[in-house]
């Protein structure tokens, strides 16, 4: 089952010093932190903060190519978590029919923001007991501490960790 999520924030993990995109269920308590690379986090942050760059960034280019080929981004789905790696799919609607494209979640999220497309996560990925970062796996106590920290953040706190 797909669960629609929104971006709650983009911040630096205080344990690993890596950027995290925090997805949240709008009408519920569930959150999903996804550790991403610095460049991918920057692409997401630019769009969240509505920063216009003098030339198109990669995700702007991809959106333009899709639109110029008469396609639209219908949605993106974080669809799997295997061996501490998230997987995503970009669902495109084209004149030839729907197409699903494999993607990294950070790229899919950056494109969804630019295209105004919804972000979904497979429920089994949200509920997965597997640690969810691509960097060295912290101890179980660290994961639990991070989860409590994320749940306790206010909207004002999120602003302190902008990229």
In CATH terms, the fold of domain 2-159 is Bifunctional nuclease domain (3.10.690)
Q: How far apart are CA 21 and CA 107, in angstroms?
A: 12
pLDDT per position as a tens digit, 45-85: 999 999 999 999 999 999 999 999 999 999 999 999 999 89
Please report, for the chain, the start and end positions of each structural domain, with discontinuous segments joined by +.
2-159
H/E element holding 46? Answer: helix 38-48
Q: Which residues contact 81 (CB under 8 A, 6 or more apart)?
A: 87, 125, 128, 130, 132
pLDDT per position as a tens digit, 116-125: 999 999 999 9
Q: What values do phi and psi take at 88, rounded to 5?
A: -135, 165
**C-alpha 151: how far from its chain's center?**
17
pLDDT per position as a tens digit, 19-43: 999 999 998 889 999 999 999 999 9
> For the whole prediction, is pTM greater than 0.85?
no
């Amino acid at each position: 089952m797909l669960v629609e999520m929104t971006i709650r924030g983009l911040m630096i993990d205080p344990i690993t010093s890596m950027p995290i995109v925090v997805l949240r269920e709008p009408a519920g308590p569930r959150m999903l932190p996804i550790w991403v690379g610095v460049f991918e986090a920057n692409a997401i942050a630019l769009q969240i903060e509505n920063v216009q760059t003098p030339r198109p960034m990669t995700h702007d280019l991809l959106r333009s190519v899709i639109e110029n080929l008469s396609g639209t981004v219908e949605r993106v789905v974080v669809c799997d978590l295997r061996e501490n790696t998230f997987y995503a799919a970009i669902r495109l609607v084209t004149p030839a029919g729907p197409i699903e494209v494999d993607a990294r979640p950070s790229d899919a999220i950056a494109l969804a923001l630019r295209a105004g497309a919804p972000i979904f996560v497979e429920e089994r990925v949200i509920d997965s007991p597997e640690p969810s970062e691509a960097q060295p796996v912290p101890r179980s106590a660290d994961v639990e501490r991070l989860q409590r920290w994320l749940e306790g953040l206010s909207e004002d706190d999120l602003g302190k960790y902008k990229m």
